[in-house]
Chain A
Amino acid sequence: MPQPLPQEAVASAALLRLEEVSWRAPDGRLVLEEVSLSLAPGELAWLRGPSGGGKSSLLRLINRLAEPSGGIITLLGKPLAAWEPPQLRRRVGLLAQSPVMLPGSVEHNLSLAFGFKAAQGQAAPDRAALRGAMDRLGLQGVELGAEAQGLSLGQRQRLALARLLLLSPQVLLLDEPVSALDPESKELVEATAVAQAGEGRAVLMVSHQPPPQASAMRRLILEQGHLREEGA
C-alpha cells in the first residue's frame, strides 16, 4: 500500500515550484525558455505539446537528471541543489518515456531501488506488496519470476509505473505513461494518476491523449519552449 505523505508535504502550499526556468541543450538550442509553474499537493496537471517541444526535458530538470541554464526549481521551498540528489530523486519520481528494464526478473526490477544506500531505513516490499502493486495496474497475468525485458512494451510501461509508485514519491512526473497501452489499461493508468493526486501527491503527466473528462485538473501546453495554461 502507498505510504501516507509526511506532514511537511501537506503543509506546504507549493510542493514544487519552477521560476523562470530555462534550459539549453548541449548543442546550444534553447529548449525551455523562462518556464514558471507551481504545483500544490494533490494537484494533477496534464501537460501536452508538440514533439520536441521540451516536455521530457522539463521533467528531467525537475528530477535533476539535467541542470537548468537559468531560473530556479524548489521542492518544499528548498532549491533542488540543496537536496542530496538520490534523496531528491526518490521524492520527485520520474517515469521516463521509454520503460527501461534491467536484465533479470520482474521481482528484481520492482525491488532494485530498495537496495540503494538512499533507501536505508525503508523496508523493502515483500512479494505480496509487489504482487499488489502489479495487480492494481492490470498486470495480473505477469509472473514475478518472469524475465522483465521479455515483456511487451505496454506491460513494461505499467511495470515501470508500479516500480515508481512503490517508492511513494511526493511528486510524480509521468512522461507519456499510456502511449503504448490498450484503452482498458490506459484508463487504469489515468485513474491511478488521479488517485495518486487524491492521496496528496502532485502529479505532472505528459500525454498526447485528451485528459479524462470527469477529473478536475490543470491543463498545460508546452510549445516552442514556452509553458502556458490551456485556454489562457
Chain B
Amino acid sequence: MSGAVDIGYGQLALALGFVVLAGGASLWLKLGLGRDLIVGTLRTVAQLALMGYVLLYIFAINQAWLVLLLFAGMIFFAARIVAGRVKGKGVPVFWPVFLSMLLSYMVVSFLVTGVVVQAQPWWDARYFLPLGGMVVGNSMNAMALSLERLFGEMTNRRDQVELLLSLGADPREATTAINADAIRAGMIPSINSMMGVGLVFIPGMMTGQILAGADPLLAIKYQIVVMLMLVGSTTLGSVVAVSLARRRLFTPAQQLRPGVSGTR
C-alpha cells in the first residue's frame, strides 16, 4: 500500500548534513549548542528507531492490552514532561496531569477510532496509536500552558484570592476567574490552528498520508477529524487538569498553601 519512495540508509545519512550545517553555525557564531545538537540528533535517531521496531512488533501481534499499555506509557512520559515544565511552587502536579491526560485522551482517542473512523476493533494498533499519539503530543502543550497560567495567576493575583477567601468564598469561588483564564490559555492554540490549517500550513499527518500515496481528499477527511479531536482533547484535558491542580493550591482549611501565598 506504500506509495512513498523508500529512503536508503545512505540517503538518510545525507540528512545529517542539516545538522552539520546547524553545528557549523553554532561554532561560527559561538552559540554553544554543539553538544545539544549531537545529543538531540542521537536521541531522535534512537527514539524513532525504537518506536519503529515497537510499532512493527505491536502491529504484528495487535493485542488490546499491549496497545493500551503503550498508550499509557506515552501518557506517562507526557505527564512527566508537563509536570517538569510547570514549576508549581512546591505544589506537585504529576498525578493530576497524568490522571487528566489518561481520562481525557482515552475518551477522545476512543471516540475517534471507535465512533468516527469506526476501526475494527476500536483499539486496532494501526489507527489507535498514531491518532492517540497525536492527541497526546498536541494536547500536552495545551495542558502545560493551562497549568503555567494557573500557577502564574495564582501568584500574581494572590491578594485577590485571599480577599475573596476572607469574605467567605470557598476555594472554588475564590478562583473562578483564574480558572477560566487558565483553561482559555490551553484552548486558544488549538482554536488558532483551526483558523490557519490549509492556508498557512499543511499538517504533518496529511503530509504523511499524501507521501504514502493516499488520495488527498481522504487525507483531508482524516485531517479534519484530527483538528476537531484536538479541540476536544485540549478542552477536556485543560478543564480536568486545572480543576485537579487548583484543589492542591489550598489546604483542607481553605487557605492558600504557603508556597503559593508567599511568606507574610
Contacts and interface: CB of A to CB of B under 8 A. Distances in A.
Contacts of A201: none
Interface in B100-144: none
B163 A116 contact: no
A210 interface: no
A26 B258 contact: yes
Interface in B181-202: none
B264 interface: yes
A96 interface: yes
A119 B168 contact: yes
Contacts of B165: 65, 85, 89
A167 to B, nearest CB: 7
Contacts, number: 73
Contact of A118 (B159, B160, B170): B170
B255 A118 contact: no
Interface residues of A, number: 33
Contacts of A112: 164, 167
Interface string B150-182: 000000000110111111111001000000000
Interface stretch (A2-10, A56-64, A188-196): A56-64
Interface size class of B (residues with CB under 8 A): 20 to 34
A116 B169 CA distance: 6
Nearest to A98: B159
Contacts of A67: 251, 253, 255
Contacts of A163: 167
A85 B159 contact: no
Contacts of A117: 170, 173
Nearest to A119: B168
Contacts of B259: 26
A28 to B, nearest CB: 10
8 contacts: A63-B166, A67-B251, A85-B170, A90-B167, A100-B163, A115-B173, A167-B167, A167-B168
Interface of A: 25-27, 56-57, 60, 63-67, 81, 85-87, 89-90, 93-94, 96, 98, 100, 102, 112-113, 115-119, 163-164, 167
Interface of B: 159-160, 162-170, 173, 251, 253-256, 258-259, 263-264
Given A56-B264, A116-B173, A163-B167, 17 more contacts: A26-B258, A27-B263, A63-B166, A65-B165, A65-B255, A67-B253, A85-B253, A85-B255, A87-B168, A96-B159, A100-B159, A100-B163, A112-B167, A113-B169, A116-B168, A118-B170, A167-B167
A-B pairs with lowest CB-CB distance, top 9 = A26-B258, A113-B167, A85-B254, A90-B168, A118-B168, A86-B168, A100-B163, A94-B166, A100-B159
